[in-house]
Structure formats: C-alpha cells, structure tokens
C-alpha cells in the first residue's frame, strides 16, 4: 500500500494516509477529514472537514456570537440611559463642559499678583524682540554706539480694564560708544504686551512705545527709550491710568 502525504487543512501539520482510505484524522489537532478524489485524476486529492464535525464547530461559534450581541445591547442601554439622565437632570448634576473649564483657566489677568512663573518666562521671551534694538542715525568713527551687557528687568506692571489688559515690562539697557568707552548711557525700554491670559502662551508681539533718546549732543544718533524709569512710567502707564486702567506692580 502506498502512503499519501498532505498538510492538515486545520493546523498545517503533516498527514499520512493510505492511498485507498476514505477518511483520515490529524494526530495533532484531532480533526477528521473526508478524502475526496477526482475521478479523472486519481492523484488529485482534497481533504474536507468531516460532515459530522461541522455542527460541532458551529456549536462553539453560535454561543460566542450570541454573547457579543447581548454585551452590545447591555452596553448601549447603560450608555444612552446615562446620557438621557445627564441631559434631563439638574444643572448642578451635569458634567462640566471642557470649553467652560478652558475658559475659566484662560481669563484675562487683572492684577500683577496673578502672573505665574510660566507667564513671566513667556513675557520675557516676547519682550526680547524690542530690547536689542539697533542704534539709529549717525554711526562713524566718532559715534559708534552698541549695547553692553544684558538688559535688566527693573519692574513689571499690569494695567487692566474690564476684559483687556496691558502688561508692561521696564528694562534698563546700557549703550556704550565703541571709540569713547567713557560715553555710556543707561536707558529704560518698556515692552508692552496686550491681553495676556492665564495659562495661555502669548501670540501677540511686544511693542516699544518710547520716543527718541539721543546718544550725542548733535541729536544725530538715537534709540527708542526713556532716560529714567520714572519717565518710562509717566510716558506709558500714567496715560493708561488716565484712561481708567487699574495699574498694579509685580
């Protein structure tokens, strides 16, 4: 008798059976198969699941599908029942809206004491754009001014009114004449940033509303700054107080 070798259609293990056999069984997965032969080609052999075992497979699938359907029905009932309860309940029992939470945490800052460390880091980054300004006007072998050292933050003010504010950071900056280093000027530059909110990264740029500050007697070389911190306060914050803004100092 000749042995025929095939792969198990169920698990892929090797199968061996007699060439005249009508059925066989896998020694690994224990599934039984009927052997079908092509009448025109006896070498062509197909293995099909035993008809007796097919209902057994279905017997396991049907309860599984039924369990999934029951789970979905119960889940949907609980979920939509909860939604109806929250929608028809009292306002105090409703879940807070995420937009309301964000709005509460992103209110306009009205007092300098509300500025956080994160706010300060963000404000100083924005302020840096107006601090390292180039000298305007005459620059030659007599007058060649540039900044020396880093700008120093002197004070921070918050001017607020209703739903708007202006945060003012006043820095001192030293300008020195390259050819005559004894010529130094300490100027005060205000960086004004509008509508600063709590817990929100700034998108508005800082502005410098200063007038021209001359670095030579001929008034030909200048930067935009004030000569003292008091002048910066009177030039920027005093007009805001006159407009009804409340000014607080950090």
Quick: pLDDT tens for 2-25: 788 888 888 888 888 887 888 888
Give CA–CA dist 68/58, Å, rounded.
Answer: 15
Query: Using CA of residue 127, residue 110, residue 165, residue 235, what is the dihedral sign?
Result: negative
Q: Mean pLDDT, the chain, as a whole number?
A: 81
Range with the lowest mean pLDDT among 24-33, 102-111, 156-165?
102-111
pTM of the model as a whole:
0.56
Tell me whether strands 164-177 and 152-161 are parallel, antiparallel or unpaired.
antiparallel
Q: What pLDDT does residue 239 have? A: 95
What does the buried/exposed string (b/e) look like for 152-190 if buried means 16 or more CB atoms within 10 Å of the residue's CB?
A: ebebbbbbbeeeebbbbbbbbbebbbeeeeeeebebbbb
Q: How far is CA 197 from CA 43, 71, 187, in A?
A: 83, 47, 29
More reliable by pLDDT, 61 or 32: 32
Q: State the pLDDT confidence band at 190, using cuts at 50, 70 and 90.
A: very high
Q: Which residues contact 21 (CB under 8 A, 6 or more apart)?
A: 35
Residue with tokens 């279905």: 58
């Amino acid at each position: 008798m000749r042995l025929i070798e095939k792969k198990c259609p169920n698990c892929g293990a090797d199968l061996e059976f007699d060439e005249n056999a009508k059925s066989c069984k896998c020694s690994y997965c224990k599934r039984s198969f009927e052997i079908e032969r092509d009448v025109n080609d006896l070498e062509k052999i197909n293995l099909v699941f035993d008809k007796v075992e097919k209902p057994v497979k279905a017997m396991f699938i049907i309860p599984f599908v039924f369990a999934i359907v029951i789970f979905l029905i119960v889940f949907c009932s609980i979920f939509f029942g909860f939604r109806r309860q929250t929608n028809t309940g009292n306002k105090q029992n409703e879940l807070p809206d995420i937009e309301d939470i964000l709005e509460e945490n992103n209110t306009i800052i009205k007092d300098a004491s509300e500025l956080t460390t994160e706010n300060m880091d963000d404000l100083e980054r924005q302020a840096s754009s107006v601090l390292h300004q180039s000298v305007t006007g005459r620059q030659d072998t007599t007058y060649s001014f540039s900044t020396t050292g880093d700008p120093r933050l002197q004070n921070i003010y918050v001017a607020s009114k209703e739903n708007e504010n202006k945060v003012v950071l006043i820095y001192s900056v030293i300008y020195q004449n390259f050819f005559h280093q004894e010529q130094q000027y300490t100027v005060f530059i205000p960086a004004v940033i509008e509508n600063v909110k709590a817990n929100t990264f700034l998108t508005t740029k800082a502005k410098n509303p200063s007038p021209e500050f001359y670095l030579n007697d001929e008034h030909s070389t200048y930067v935009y700054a004030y000569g003292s911190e008091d002048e910066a306060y009177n030039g920027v914050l005093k007009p805001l107080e006159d407009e009804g803004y409340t000014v607080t100092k950090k």
